[in-house]
């Protein structure tokens, strides 16, 4: 007789043929991850290779485009050369650096420009957005010799369709020397210009908009006005209306004038010597291609202006007394504020007049000399 324990379950024999419990297949999972990583690496390598190929192709096209543009300019009479051309910036930039660039314009009076270097950069995926750095020393030789040295001089260009361009220029610490006039200094400069390009005859939008601002301008003695040679600040905003012809067309100015072209000045603000001027109005060209215009002017410091013009013998002493009497009558004197006068300002037959009083005879503009080519 065999003793048994009724509380113990009967033992179950394990057969060697019985299946083991299911569990994770670590070998298969590891192999799957390896295949995925290998696929991702292959895709990444192909993407990097494709992008590298695109960057190299773009840099090659850019170099060819520069040389092609130079060849086109040569056919138009402008010779452009450079000492060296480098393209780098991979992977996030396409940066072109020209060493010792120079340009020679063969016209009625040859003009040559030279600089130590110019650098332009753009994102490889956005070649219409260009940053340009051309700080340093620039030399211009022609009828007059000009040298310009700038601590900072840069531009940002956004190229649009049909030749449209938005440009923003900035400068700081600018010194310019003019062979006949002397030296000019400028603390800061900002200039925005919007050119719509070839918009067609049916488009009536202004072809050019502009915004110019500068601070700390010191003029050479030859260019100083009766108010002195310092311009504390200057701001000019507005637009050009009327069809703009090709700049190489000798009759472009006359065509623009005949078509009713004007310069609409939305704001002109200048702090020059004792004068604080704020004005807006319209400019055009008369039959002799000289400026004519009508403005509404707000002037502070007007008594000191009359004194300065009298010392410079622009205004006769007897006339100065009469002018001051008139200005005293028309001046506005708001409580707690600087007195000012507000009256029409006009330019006619090169005469600058304020409230029907002749102030200053303006010099004649010689467009042929100013633009370096004959104007018909």
How many independent structural domains does the chain possess? 1
Q: What is the pLDDT of residue 1?
A: 45
Q: What is the pLDDT of residue 245?
A: 76
Give the pLDDT confidence of 309-333 residue by residue, as tens digits: 899 888 888 888 888 888 888 889 8
Give a yes or no: residue 306 inside a domain.
yes
Q: What is the mean pLDDT of residues 111-134?
A: 94
Give a yes or no: residue 26 inside a domain.
no
Give a yes or no: residue 350 inside a domain.
yes
Give a yes or no: residue 316 inside a domain.
yes
Give a yes or no: residue 61 inside a domain.
no
Is the model's pTM score more than 0.85?
no
Contact (Cβ atoms closer than 8 angstroms) between residue 308 and residue 258 = no
**Domain around 252:** 246-376
Give a yes or no: residue 267 inside a domain.
yes
Give a yes or no: residue 134 inside a domain.
no
**Mean pLDDT, the chain, as a whole number?**
86
Whether cis (ω within 30° of 0) applies to the bond prior to 91 is yes
Q: What is the pLDDT of residue 24?
A: 54
Give a yes or no: residue 375 inside a domain.
yes
Considering only residues 102 and 108, tell me which one the structure prediction assigns the higher pLDDT. 102
Considering only residues 357 and 180, tell me which one the structure prediction assigns the higher pLDDT. 180
Q: What is the pLDDT of residue 2?
A: 45
pLDDT at 23 over 80: no
């Amino acid at each position: 007789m065999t003793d048994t324990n009724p509380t113990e379950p009967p033992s179950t024999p394990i057969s060697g043929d019985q299946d083991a419990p299911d569990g994770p297949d670590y070998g298969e999972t590891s192999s799957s991850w390896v295949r995925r990583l290998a696929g991702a690496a292959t895709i990444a390598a192909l993407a990097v290779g494709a992008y590298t190929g695109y960057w190299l192709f773009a840099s090659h096209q850019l170099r060819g485009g520069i040389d092609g543009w130079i060849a086109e300019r040569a056919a138009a009479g402008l010779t452009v050369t450079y000492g060296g051309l480098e393209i780098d910036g991979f992977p996030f930039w396409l940066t072109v650096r020209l060493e010792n660039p120079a340009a020679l314009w063969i016209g009625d009076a040859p003009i040559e420009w030279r600089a130590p270097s110019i650098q332009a950069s753009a994102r490889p995926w956005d070649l219409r957005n260009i940053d340009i750095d051309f700080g340093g020393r620039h030399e211009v030789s022609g009828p007059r010799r000009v040298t310009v040295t700038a601590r900072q001089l840069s531009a940002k260009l956004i190229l649009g369709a049909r030749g449209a361009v938005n440009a923003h220029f900035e400068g700081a610490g600018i010194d310019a020397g003019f062979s006949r006039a002397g030296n000019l200094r400028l603390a800061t400069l900002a200039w925005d210009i919007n050119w719509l390009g070839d918009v067609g005859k049916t488009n009536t939008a202004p072809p050019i908009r502009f915004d110019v601002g500068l601070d700390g301008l010191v003029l050479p003695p030859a260019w100083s006005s009766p108010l002195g040679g310092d311009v504390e600040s200057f701001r000019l905003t507005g637009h050009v209306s009327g069809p703009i012809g090709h700049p190489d067309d000798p009759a472009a100015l006359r065509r623009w004038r005949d078509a009713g072209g004007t310069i609409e000045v939305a704001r002109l603000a200048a702090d020059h010597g004792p004068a604080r001027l704020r004005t807006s109005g319209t400019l055009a060209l008369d039959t002799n291609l000289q400026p004519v215009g009508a403005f509404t002017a707000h002037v502070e410091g007007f008594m000191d202006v009359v004194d300065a013009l009298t010392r410079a013998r622009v205004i006769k002493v007897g006339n100065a007394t009469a002018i001051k009497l008139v200005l005293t009558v028309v001046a506005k004197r708001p409580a707690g504020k600087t007195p000012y006068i507000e009256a029409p300002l006009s330019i006619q037959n090169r005469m600058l007049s304020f409230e029907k009083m002749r102030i200053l005879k303006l010099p004649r503009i010689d467009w042929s000399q100013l633009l370096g080519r004959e104007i018909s």
